[in-house]
Structure 1
Amino acid sequence: MRALRNLALATTALLLVGAAPAPDVYGEADFARVRKFDAHVHANVADPAFVRLAATDGFELLSINVDYPDFPPVAEQARIAYAMHAADPKRFHFATTFSMDGFGAPGWAARAEKQIDAGLAQGAVAVKVWKNIGMVAKDAAGKRVFLDDPRFDPVIAQLEARRVPLIAHQGEPKNCWLPLDEMTTDNDRSYFSEHPEYYMYRHPEEPSYEQLMAVRDRFVARHPRLAFDGAHMASLEWSVDELARFLDRFPTAMVDLAARMSQVQAQSNANHAKVRAFFVKYQDRLMYGTDLTDSPPDPHARAQNPPATGDFIREADTVWRSDWRYLATPLSQHVDAIKADTPGLALPRGVVDKIYYVNARRFFRLNG
């Protein structure tokens, strides 16, 4: 009996020694099977192909309605979002918005609140404010409007009371204030070349980058109970050190990575260890997003970021797989926007799970 027991123990030990430990990082083959959430897309056509691709690639989607002149009117964006959410409420989520028309005139806040209520009633999980606040919009007296304007307070109070997150695109990449030949990425060169109205280097009379960032920070400080998502890495994409300072100053704020991956890749090519350490340290504060935009065909459409080729489904799949390769694996790839090969960060599985899924589900209160 003792001999049999010893043999069994020896066999078990051999099996344990020979068993390969589970890898700490994902590979490319894990892409489709891991649950993921793209927390920043724009579905501007009611095409179920986007949701079908998301299902195939393992994604839930947050489509964000926004008062952007290049997009369909806000009412049309809302109609599309309502229909797509109703068709697949577990995979397609959306954020609503409100119009800045008539800001400062009597009744504006009540109209904005009514727009928000309509979206929430249809299933919206957040509200979006865009860069036109601070860069374009003016009040009824013709004065530029900034996000820290106290006339927003009734609207923000409504969001706080109902625990509705605010997604805020404030400012632009720092490249927006640089000459084209000093920009760090080709996607920014393309976008601002074709959107001169938002290219602040050509408009020195407009607010500076630093002014817009200060406004954003004052707004967040004034509303500590607001669930705040700084879209596009809170426009601090140029420096993980600066973004870390923002996250440290505002410990409940989140940021998404939408349309800023190439700026991160430029930094990791310069200091791979620092960028990887940033993602690990702030793993609970970052949400994956792309800014992928499915819009009606338009031969006169201007450059978007990510770039559009006219084959949206292929674009989306390519962007998602490229970002996965960079964030989740150690594999290198050529990044056209920075004209360089970029090794992946190979983030630990637990970190990837949070950035790609857990954080968004928690922040947008989708876990209940």
Structure 2
Amino acid sequence: MPKKLMEFKAFIPKITVSKRNQRKIPVLFALWLILLPIMAQQGYQAKLPDIEKKTYYTMEDFGRVDKFDIHIHINTAQPYFIHQAIKDRFFFLDIVDDRPFGLPMDKQQEVAIQLLEKYPEQMSFATTFKVSNWNQDDWVAQTISHLEKSFAQGAMAVKIWKNIGMDLRDEHNDFVMVDHPRIDSVLTFLTKASVPLLGHNGEPRDCWLPLEDMTFSQGYYGNHPEYHMYLHPEYPSYEDQINARDNMLKKHPNLNFMGAHLGSLEWSLEELAKRLDAYPLMRVDLTRLPNLKLHTFNDWEKTRKFFIDYQDRLIYGTDTAINPTDRPEDLKQRIHQKWLDEWKFYVTDSPIELEGYGELRGLKLPGKIIDKIYFENASKLLGFNTKG
């Protein structure tokens, strides 16, 4: 049998083979039918690739490659975003947050479950837990009960947000950090349940710097001084946030963990590499792309080497918020263009403009690395299987 006909990916639950591939690859399709009952017992089905693995991808390959965005926030039951994801061959993780603004946590989860029922082949979701009841004696029991219910409703991961470390205080008015003993009980539960934790711990380092020393955050923190930690030295420092996260990982070495936003170490590839070396089960998503572009602008070879060295630990994500809209075509075009522009940065060495700095060239990563950061690494973290 030709090599092409022997290659296949085991994909997200309920993904099925397209009619076009059934016609093109009849031998493999017959094999798929034989294997389907076995794979269904394992909780996944097979997905056949449209193209062979390439040494390098091109812009033209964007619509022919399965991709996964691990950092999406959906705040509406409108399906427009998912329609575009299907068109662009994107699968995604919808993340629920315990944030004090926008759609409340419970409503976010209702939306996620509602969409999951309609589009189980396209998405997964990550749940979270509230801390408004932190000072109750049974907080741990309540939290674990909520998580167990969420897993039964389809959640594949858990998000811990920056309110722990930057907002939550205990009965003594002291800040609660992510390495707190009560949180240990929840993380031990997640470890035993083999459920990954997604951590947004702290903020970008810019948050603790004077405006003139920031890279990309001057506008936001200039307009929101209440969130500019440089002006609030009584709050935990940037180093406090990172140290607490690192201590959490030391205490839970078997916890599958993904640091959101480059693990809040977006400013230094060296510091990020130290953590990836120290914590073998730590991964990071590739949000805060402007920082990655700045690293590339400053040293293309060093940045590309970082991707090569840590190709198994990096996961594509955009941190895109999907809100209600009465202009669905504009939303779909915006999402499509963002995905396309970022594909250009990773797969080509074409010139790219970084506002405020100048022109850089894309990283042009090998196809096998693109496959990992755009799909395979997410599959390993979330627990659906791949072959190929």
| Fold shared by both chains (TM-score > 0.5) | yes
CA contact (8 A) 2:314 2:373 kept: yes
1:252: how far off? 1.4
Q: What is residue 363 of structure 2 aligned with on the other side?
A: 345
1:142: how far off? 2.4
| TM-score for both structures, normalised by structure 2 | 0.82
Structure-1 separation of matches of 2:218 and 2:159: 25
Counterpart secondary structure, 1:125: strand
Match of 1:45 among 51, 73, 76: 76
Q: Among the aligned pairs, what percent are the same residue?
A: 41
Q: Specify whether residues 311 and 134 from structure 1 end up closer, same or farther in structure 2 by C-alpha distance, changes over 3 A only.
A: farther
Structure-1 separation of matches of 2:318 and 2:220: 15
Q: Deviations over 1:268-312 (max 9, x none)?
A: 1110000000001100000000100012469xxxxxxxxxxx943
Q: Specify whether residues 206 and 234 from structure 1 end up closer, same or farther in structure 2 by C-alpha distance, changes over 3 A only.
A: same
Structure-2 separation of matches of 1:119 and 1:340: 46
Whether 2:349 is the aligned partner of 1:330: answer yes
1:62: how far off? 0.4
Structure-1 separation of matches of 2:122 and 2:142: 30
Structure-2 separation of matches of 1:169 and 1:31: 29
1:195: how far off? 3.7
1:164: how far off? 0.3
Mapping for residues 226-265 of structure 1, pairs under 5 Å:
226-258=255-287, 260-265=288-293
Any stretches of 5+ residues in structure 2 without a counterpart?
Answer: 1-52
1:161: how far off? 1.1
Structure-1 separation of matches of 2:86 and 2:156: 20
1:77: how far off? 0.2
1:114: how far off? 1.9
1:23: how far off? 6.2
Structure-1 separation of matches of 2:361 and 2:314: 20
1:217: how far off? 0.4
CA contact (8 A) 1:44 1:80 kept: yes
Q: What is residue 204 of structure 2 aligned with on the other side?
A: 173
Structure-1 separation of matches of 2:233 and 2:56: 46
Structure-1 separation of matches of 2:285 and 2:156: 15
Structure-2 separation of matches of 1:91 and 1:195: 36
Structure-1 separation of matches of 2:312 and 2:385: 16
State the superposition RMSD in angstroms: 1.9
CA contact (8 A) 2:78 2:324 kept: no
CA contact (8 A) 2:98 2:129 kept: yes
Mapping for residues 51-130 of structure 1, pairs under 5 Å:
51-130=82-161
Match of 2:299 among 232, 250, 271: 271
For residue 254 of structure 2, what is the amino acid of its counterpart?
R
Q: Deviations over 1:306-359 (max 9, x none)?
A: xxxx943232212211111101111112233x4422210000000010000000
Largest Rg, 1 or 2: 1
CA contact (8 A) 1:105 1:140 kept: no
Q: Specify whether residues 355 and 246 from structure 1 end up closer, same or farther in structure 2 by C-alpha distance, changes over 3 A only.
A: same
Structure-2 separation of matches of 1:257 and 1:362: 16
1:198: how far off? 2.5
Q: What is residue 194 of structure 2 aligned with on the other side?
A: 163
Q: What is residue 308 of structure 2 aligned with on the other side?
A: 280
CA contact (8 A) 2:353 2:360 kept: yes
For residue 357 of structure 1, what is the amino acid of its counterpart?
F
Counterpart secondary structure, 1:293: strand
Whether 2:232 is the aligned partner of 1:214: answer no
Q: Specify whether residues 195 and 84 from structure 1 end up closer, same or farther in structure 2 by C-alpha distance, changes over 3 A only.
A: farther
Structure-2 separation of matches of 1:103 and 1:202: 27
1:197: how far off? 3.1
Counterpart secondary structure, 1:40: strand
Q: What is residue 64 of structure 2 aligned with on the other side?
A: 33
Structure-1 separation of matches of 2:321 and 2:306: 28
Structure 1 ranges of 4+ moved more than 6 A: none
Counterpart secondary structure, 1:62: strand
Structure-2 separation of matches of 1:31 and 1:195: 38
Q: What is residue 147 of structure 1 aligned with on the other side?
A: 178
CA contact (8 A) 2:96 2:125 kept: yes
Structure-2 separation of matches of 1:102 and 1:143: 16
1:227: how far off? 0.7
Counterpart secondary structure, 2:155: coil
Q: Deviations over 1:117-149 (max 9, x none)?
A: 221111111000001110111123422100000
Structure-1 separation of matches of 2:155 and 2:311: 25
Structure-2 separation of matches of 1:367 and 1:226: 19
Structure-2 separation of matches of 1:124 and 1:216: 23
Match of 1:198 among 227, 231, 245: 227
